[in-house]
Amino acid sequence: MKKQNLQSNYDSQVDVGRRIFLEYDQERLIHKFLLDADEQWIYLIYMNTPCRISRESGQIDEFRDDAWTECRNYSTVMTIYDLLCYHQGPNAPVLFHQWCTVGTFIVTGVSDTGTFTRKYAALFDGHVEELRSACASLGGIPETGKPRADVAFRIPVTPFFPVLLQFWESDEEFPPKLQLMWDRNADSFLHFETTFFLQGDLLERLKKAMAISVP
């Protein structure tokens, strides 16, 4: 029952997000982030999936299996809304092209940010090739010149906002390690809390793309 109530609350928040999005100047957002648009829709790419936002209702659709389908995934829609609406300046924020951990943006009272990634590290352990392929399927580009990781991909969440995924397999001394890195100016693009929704959405998409059995 508690899980159902939580899901119902997330679903209702999707509708709240729509209404808030409609309060923003859409022409300004289109110009600011160089988005394609027509009279009915605003278009963008999210994790290599074509998306569109209704200019009348704020509804977000994803293009999957040769058809547009409404997206009700809370993490997806709230990340998209936040990336478009959080920054209040007239021009899009700029990337600093310097990677840092999410801990750089931690505010007082936030718990350990590594707890969430550890379960995915365990899931991905022993599946390096599948993880590489999954990263590529989300538009990821192999990243070189970083600390030697078994997997390192720069993944475009949107064309204007990437994250860096790094993964180390377990060995006889250390457990597997998964780390997401953020541009040092990420907090100009989205709320700190949204980094958790984005991270969860990304890792779930990777898990699905890998098509491996889950314990």
Structure tokens at 66: 């040769």
Q: CATH 3.30.310 residue ranges in the chain?
A: 99-210
Position 106 confidence tier, pLDDT thresholds 50, 70, 90:
confident
Residue the block writes with tokens 């829709």? 41
pLDDT tens sequence across 181-214: 999 999 999 999 999 999 999 999 999 999 866 5
Q: What is the pLDDT of residue 62?
A: 98
Instruction: Pick the range with the lowest mean pLDDT from 9-18, 58-67, 102-111, 117-126.
Output: 102-111
Position 1 confidence tier, pLDDT thresholds 50, 70, 90:
very low
What are the start-end ranges of the E strands in the chain? 36-37, 41-46, 49-54, 60-64, 67-70, 99-101, 141-142, 151-158, 161-168, 177-183
Q: 41 and 54 in contact (C-beta within 8 Å)?
A: yes
Q: Give the C-alpha distances (Å, rounded to integers) separating 7 from 23, 82, 84, 198.
A: 25, 20, 24, 17
Alpha-carbon distance 156 to 158, whole Å? 5
Q: What is the pLDDT of residue 9?
A: 80
Q: Residue 16 in 3-state DSSP?
A: helix
Interior angle at CA 110, CA 109 and CA 113, nearest 5: 155
pLDDT tens sequence across 56-68: 999 999 999 999 9
CATH number at 99-210: 3.30.310
pLDDT exceeds 70 at position 121: yes
Name the β-bridge partners of 46.
Answer: 49
